[in-house]
């Protein structure tokens, strides 16, 4: 009889403490404004533009510099509508900057080194975009597809 009674007392005490805490937090924290709870990306969807780079062929290199194989990436660059034409016209500069970095970047991973390190490649594309377009033009690089070549 005592274990059942003790369990019931602990259950009621836990519910009381949890409910009291929730009520106290509700009283102390201000309620959000009508538009403040929406993410920034949801507020201005018309301002976002994705510019495709086309296929990018990159070598898969181990950390010691040996070649494992090649991979073909499809990337889209997130920019504003205003910067989309600027980025499109200067894509050859981006591709050149990527080519000058990929052979030095250890992107080979997985068994046999045939899986690309997507985070390493994304960082490489972002560094190259700063060189090609300047800072704060490309918001992020989205890797759409990676295929071994």
Q: What confidence tier does 74 reach under pLDDT thresholds 50, 70, 90?
A: very high
Whether residue 4 is predicted with pLDDT greater than 90 in this model: the reply is: no
Whether residue 33 is predicted with pLDDT greater than 70 in this model: the reply is: no
Non-local CB neighbours of 142 within 8 Å, separated by 6+ positions: 50, 75, 76, 77, 78
Instruction: Give me the pLDDT at residue 39, please.
Output: 54
| Residue bearing the bigger pLDDT, 112 or 35 | 112
The CATH number fitting domain 41-148, selected from 3.30.70, 2.60.120, 1.10.3470, 3.30.479: 3.30.479
| pLDDT per residue as tens digits for the range 9-19 | 887 888 787 77
d(CA 111, CA 126): 27
Q: Across all residues in the chain, what is the average pLDDT?
A: 85
Instruction: Give me the pLDDT at residue 16, please.
Output: 84
pTM, two decimal places: 0.67
Parallel, antiparallel or unpaired: strands 115-116 and 108-109: antiparallel
d(CA 17, CA 68): 59
Instruction: Give me the pLDDT at residue 44, please.
Output: 59
Non-local CB neighbours of 41 within 8 Å, separated by 6+ positions: 48
- String of b and e for 48-81 (b: at least 16 CB within 10 Å)? ebebebeebebbbbeeeeeebeebebebebbbbe
d(CA 92, CA 111): 33
Instruction: Give me the pLDDT at residue 35, please.
Output: 52
């Amino acid at each position: 009889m005592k274990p059942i009674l003790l369990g019931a007392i602990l259950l009621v005490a836990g519910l009381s403490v949890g409910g009291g805490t929730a009520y106290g937090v509700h009283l102390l924290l201000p309620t959000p404004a009508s538009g403040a709870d929406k993410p920034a990306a949801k507020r201005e969807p018309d301002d976002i533009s994705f510019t495709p780079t086309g296929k990018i062929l990159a070598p898969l290199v181990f950390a010691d510099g040996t070649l494992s194989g090649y991979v073909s990436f499809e990337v889209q660059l997130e920019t504003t509508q205003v910067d989309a034409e600027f980025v499109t016209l200067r894509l050859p500069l981006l591709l050149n900057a990527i080519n000058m970095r990929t052979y030095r970047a250890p992107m080979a991973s997985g068994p046999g080194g045939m899986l690309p390190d997507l985070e390493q490649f994304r960082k490489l594309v972002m560094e190259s975009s700063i060189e090609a377009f300047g800072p704060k033009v490309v918001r992020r690089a989205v890797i759409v597809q990676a295929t071994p070549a």
